[in-house]
Structure 1
Amino acid sequence: MGRPSRAVLSRQNIARAALDLVDEQGSDGLTMRAVAERLGVKAASLYNHVSGREDILDGLAELVNAEIDLGALAADSPLPWREGLAVYARGYRAAFLRHPHTIALLARRRVGAERQLLGYETLLAALARAGLTPADAAEAAAALDYLVLGSALETFTAGFTLPPADYAPAYPALATALEASTARPGTLDDRGFDLALRLLLAGLGR
């Protein structure tokens, strides 16, 4: 018996198709029809596996959050707690830098994907073990979200499209800072994120 010419539909491959669409076309590209066309089926076929667009977004959130390594937050991690949080935060940011268009879709909706909930549970448990009160831990988790997702959504350097010298006549301090930043290793965006992360972590538990 020959194999079917189309992939068997499942919630997983519907979510994967949706994520690929968003990565390629941005958040406006995510429609039931577009997902169905990508999978080579009619839109009505999707409803045998998902209830609608919100269900697809849960699946998309599951995929992106599954890319975030939670190991550094585990109770048996050998890392000091601040270092573990730093490793987690950098991995969290890296996942959303790979899928920046998903931020607009996920940031203001309910947290419903199992992997999202597991991530917050693991983070808050790690903060509790570090001695933070439940209220302080919640604020720390929110602060990490703002820092990570904000830095993944918008880059500082993308707005400055001219060579530093071109800004010098009218904006000498800006030109000097941009030029000086090129002498340091890595990107200014990564260094700026690391600076903000260090300041945030230094303020926790005090």
Structure 2
Amino acid sequence: MCRMARPRKPLLSRDRIVEAARALVDAEGLTAVSTRRLAAELGVSGPSLYNHFRTKDEILEAVADSVSAQVDLSMFDPADERDWRTALHDWAVSYRAALTLHPNIVPVLAHGPGRRPAGLRLADAVFGAMVDAGWPAAQATSIGALLRYFVMGSALGSFAGGFVDDEAAYDPADYPHLGQAHLLADRQQRIDERAFDTGLRALLDGLALQYEQVATPAA
């Protein structure tokens, strides 16, 4: 009797599930994810997902962590020669880039790293680098939180995208300073990136002033 050869790779894995769930979240939002929908997308039976994840929430946590894993942390490596301010700037830019590719998962990420390995590595790298640079531990914690709030907020929505491409919507009699507001949506990416850069530099300027007062620079 001829037996069918077993597939060389398993039909299902954690990585495949996370990849499919991330694609669903990106395309349709968090509410699109269910074990039934994922099983259909992967061409497997629903119960087989439970061999890898116990609940849908666990899947979403893994999706969130997969996005955190896309953030560059090389600037915090002890061998890297960037100063703390440059490192924070470059990390924030990388962080925002990852989140803007996957904005629908930001509400899950906003709950904190919890037990997510990549999220914890991210938090550990930022805190450790700030302490090594001479920041007191309390301020180092605040810096990590501050940058996290700023980056996530910028990724959640677009200021420019909140205006409609209709000049008539902004009657000068009602809104005397919004005569060009109908042009914002068409320039959304450029405006949002410039706003992020302006805010990031302002934050870092303020932190640099605090650093002079409270930090003990490393030898």
> What TM-score, normalized by structure 1, do the two folds share?
0.88
1:77 to 51, 76, 80: 80
Q: Does structure 1 residue 202 correspond to structure 2 residue 205? A: yes
In structure 1, give the amino acid aligned to 2:103: P
Task: State the match for 1:162 in structure 2.
Answer: 165
2:217 match: none
What is the match of residue 118 of structure 1?
121
**CA 79–163 in structure 1, closer or farther in 2 if over 3 Å, else same:** farther
* C-alpha contact (below 8 Å) 1:73/1:84 kept by paired residues: yes
The residue number in structure 2 matching 1:172 is: 176
**Displacement, 1:189?**
0.7
Alignment pair present for 1:42 and 2:48: no
8 Å Cα contact 2:64/2:108 also seen in 1 = no
Asked whether the equivalents of residues 164 and 182 of structure 2 are also in contact (C-alpha less than 8 Å), the reply is no
Q: CA deviation at 1:109?
A: 5.6
- The two structures, once aligned, show a CA RMSD in angstroms of 2.5
Match of 1:187 among 178, 187, 190: 190
* CA–CA distance in structure 1, aligned partners of residues 66 and 202 of structure 2: 30
Partner of 2:68: 65
Q: Name which of 16, 32, 35 aligns with 2:19.
A: 16
Q: Does 1:127 align with 2:130?
A: yes
Contact residue 93 and residue 149 of structure 1 kept, 8 A? yes
Q: Which amino acid aligns with 2:47?
A: A
Q: Does the 8 Å CA contact 1:72/1:84 hold for their aligned counterparts? A: yes
Taking the aligned partners of 1:99 and 1:76, their CA distance within structure 2 comes to 30
Q: Is the alpha carbon distance of 1:39 and 1:147 closer, same or farther for their aligned partners in structure 2, counting shifts above 3 Å? A: same
The percent of aligned pairs where both chains have the same amino acid is 38
Per-residue CA deviation, residues 30-72 of structure 1 (Å, 9 max, x unaligned), is 1111111111111100111112123212321221111101011
5+ unaligned residues in a row in structure 1: which ranges?
none
1-side partners of 2:46 and 2:156: how far apart? 30
After superposition, the Cα gap between the structure-2 partners of 1:195 and 1:42, relative to the gap in structure 1 and judged at 3 Å, is same
CA distance in 1, matches of 2:119, 2:112: 12
In 2, Cα distance between the equivalents of 1:138 and 1:175? 43
Aligned mate of 2:105, from 80, 102, 106: 102
Please say if residues 57 and 106 of structure 1, whose CA atoms lie closer than 8 Å, have aligned partners that are also in contact: no
Structure 2 gaps of 5+ residues are 211-219
Give the match's secondary structure for 2:135: coil
> Given the superposition, is the C-alpha separation of residues 189 and 52 from structure 1 closer, same or farther in structure 2, using an over 3 Å criterion?
same
Q: TM-score, normalised by structure 2?
A: 0.83
Please tell me whether residue 151 in structure 1 is matched to residue 150 in structure 2. Answer: no
Mapped to 1, the partners of 2:167 and 2:75 lie a distance apart of 39
Specify the code of the residue in structure 2 equivalent to 1:37: A
Q: Considering only CA atoms, is the larger Rg found in Structure 1 or Structure 2? A: 2
Which one of 42, 51, 54 corresponds to residue 51 of structure 1?
54
